[in-house]
Structure 1
């Protein structure tokens, strides 16, 4: 990957995507756009700090040359956003806008970290599932050379601001894994670093023309395979 852009670089998965890209000598430039500076640093990092997300699309458009791959792990919670309407503006509207601008700028590959279970019968009417499905469908419809969608289960890792009930759910998944084996844990939740590595691995495959499909969806088992089993640092 000669040049990449990461949106969501200060979040749990995004911070691991960033550190993974910065450690990869084959990546010539790593651009980020975020409301605060990312924690990781490196000679290939070109970080843009912009507090107003309304200007992010323009910032993306101004990157020259355009990155070949854009990653988005952008997302928030209803509580952090201050309500479902505000969450929708970030999780759905901003992601869709950035994908549209990326396509217009000439970006070839787009990688989006979505969520598992957003298309089953029980989740279909839920606002969170609607947001993720809307972004996935928009990215697929834009006609990128490769659209890569990751659908992790419970994201395992320590967040700066824990999600409500998150630590208890993570503890429960780990407990099930200790009783029934790693395979059970992997089917329910994946480590944030594994998800990040899977995203980078898949993007590199796309750059090399090895993606199995133009619209490539990675379910939890695929994430574990690419991010841990087949991962080569």
Structure 2
């Protein structure tokens, strides 16, 4: 059986790597990307939907198939407005999950962050925890939540602080052993590959993957 996948955030670090993988794999015959502007990519499997994420209901008929991968995200520096930031990091993924459930999508894959907890005193981790909870409450049969620490890879947008962290973690990673492995940095293609592999497993439930677990998925 060949599947249909939907990616929200296909222009970002993880989404772009995931898109490349899905287009190469025979298990997927159609890959729909929800984007604000067209990607400079052409492929027989690829369908690009140029959308306004504030009007996701208009595209409900296209949100069906096997798996939806939510790779959306922003930073405070990119989106300083608090309401807009919450909309991108919380409202859009939750709305996509609801539309996916309504459209019969069996899999939902969401990129969160290490330490996500809706009771956290840290506003970023609190928000990620809220998103995880709200998506889980929708009741999609197979929910995979990925909690990487530092993501390593080439982005389309400049994040100087992240580059510094990546350099530091290249040195620190070997020192993070045992229970500390989940705090290691992880390369974007490794996470994207894990998402693809888990999308082939129809075991129902909610599954949380930290960096140490993600790196074990082959």
TM above 0.5: yes
Range with greater deviation from structure 2 (100-109 or 37-46):
37-46
The structural deviation recorded for 1:127 is: 2.0
- Cα pair 1:10 1:39 within 8 Å, conserved: no
- Cα pair 1:155 1:192 within 8 Å, conserved: yes
**In 2, Cα distance between the equivalents of 1:140 and 1:187?**
24
* 5+ long unaligned stretches in structure 2: none
- Cα pair 2:118 2:129 within 8 Å, conserved: no
Matched, 1:62 2:61: yes
Matched, 1:159 2:138: no
Deviations 1:95-129 (A, max 9, x none): 111111111111111110111122398xx122211
SS of 2:214's equivalent in the other structure is helix
- Cα pair 1:18 1:40 within 8 Å, conserved: no
SS of 2:159's equivalent in the other structure is coil
Matched, 1:176 2:176: no
Deviations 1:18-76 (A, max 9, x none): 111000012011011111223443211111112x22123321x1217x21211001111
SS of 2:28's equivalent in the other structure is coil
The structural deviation recorded for 1:182 is: 9.3
Range with greater deviation from structure 2 (81-90 or 107-116):
81-90
**In 2, Cα distance between the equivalents of 1:113 and 1:190?**
13
Give the TM-score of the pair, scaled to structure 2.
Answer: 0.90
In the alignment, which residue of structure 1 is the partner of 2:111? Answer: 113
Paired residue total: 216
In the alignment, which residue of structure 2 is the partner of 1:103? Answer: 101
Tell me: CA distance 1:49–1:119, structure 2 relative to 1, closer, same or farther (3 Å).
same
**In 2, Cα distance between the equivalents of 1:142 and 1:170?**
35
**In 1, Cα distance between the equivalents of 2:175 and 2:121?**
32
SS of 2:62's equivalent in the other structure is coil
Pick aligned residue for 1:126 from 122, 128, 146: 122
The structural deviation recorded for 1:82 is: 2.7
Aligned-residue CA RMSD in angstroms? 2.2
SS of 2:33's equivalent in the other structure is strand
Matched, 1:189 2:185: yes
In the alignment, which residue of structure 2 is the partner of 1:11? Answer: 12
User: Which aligned segments of 4 or more residues in structure 1 are displaced greater than 6 angstroms?
Assistant: 181-186
The structural deviation recorded for 1:163 is: 2.5
- Cα pair 1:8 1:72 within 8 Å, conserved: yes
